């Protein structure tokens, strides 16, 4: 198995892409720490993890809060003694809005959850990876960072920041055998898209229309992103750092 005896922290692991990554990692031998605010959905993730003969724990954590992030990392270390993999996946997708109508509070919330959380989690986990001179950090950005949609300036700014942050941190940690990379999912069938579905349109109608823009003629599934995350988390990618991988069916 590709992740035997590895410990992975996955933020936003209660559903969607985070859940798919947790289950994929579990199948490959990792134990998982699910950091999220959605306890009920996180329980379902852990049930799926247990079904593939692995184990994990849920830690309630607002990843934009430094004290809660540090407490989450402390619990992971107390439970498993190390952290080998960090997947910064937690994010929100704000409704489309013109810049004039984005409030300062809304801007701060998107930047805090989608970008500041990546900084906080990396800062808290890095000392343990530095000590063991090994680590894989996967920061989930978005195709929207390199091909931003109109009326989503806050989201685009945060996700672009994730890419630049990942590149800078990768250069810092490369001598320590710590790889830092960014994943850029395209249009993916998750709950995150609920906020951008036009009124009067069903989810199926929305994703069917979106698929027409994708060269592969389908939208992504969480498992598509999980497969790329597995590659970056495993030793197959030991000489890859500071890079970004688009998981978008050719859309960019």
Catalytic residues: 155
Cα separation, 72 vs 63, in Å, equals 9
In terms of Cβ atoms closer than 10 Å to its own Cβ (0-12, 13-18, 19+), residue 77 is middle
Query: CA-based diameter of the chain, in Å?
Result: 53
């Amino acid at each position: 198995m590709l992740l035997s005896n590895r410990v992975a922290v996955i933020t936003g692991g209660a559903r969607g892409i985070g859940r798919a990554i947790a289950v994929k990692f579990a199948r490959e031998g990792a134990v998982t720490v699910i950091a999220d605010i959605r306890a009920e959905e996180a329980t379902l993730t852990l049930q799926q993890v247990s079904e593939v003969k692995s184990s994990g724990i849920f830690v309630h954590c607002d990843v934009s809060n430094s004290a809660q992030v540090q407490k989450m990392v402390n619990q992971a270390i107390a439970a498993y003694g190390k952290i080998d993999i960090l997947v910064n996946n937690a994010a929100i997708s704000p409704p489309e809005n013109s810049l004039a109508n984005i409030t300062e509070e809304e801007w701060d919330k998107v930047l805090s959850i989608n970008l500041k959380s990546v900084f906080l989690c990396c800062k808290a986990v890095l000392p343990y990876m530095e000590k063991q001179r090994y680590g894989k950090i996967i920061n989930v950005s978005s195709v929207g960072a390199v091909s931003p949609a109109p009326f989503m300036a806050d989201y685009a700014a945060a996700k672009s920041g994730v890419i630049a942050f990942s590149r800078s941190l990768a250069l810092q940690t490369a001598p320590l055998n710590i790889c830092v990379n960014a994943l850029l999912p395209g249009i993916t069938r998750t709950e995150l898209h609920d906020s951008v579905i036009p009124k009067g349109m069903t989810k199926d109608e929305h994703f069917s229309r979106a698929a027409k823009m994708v060269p592969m003629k389908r939208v992504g599934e969480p498992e598509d992103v999980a497969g790329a995350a597995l590659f970056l988390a495993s030793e197959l990618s030991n000489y890859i750092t500071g890079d970004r991988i688009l998981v978008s069916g050719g859309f960019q």
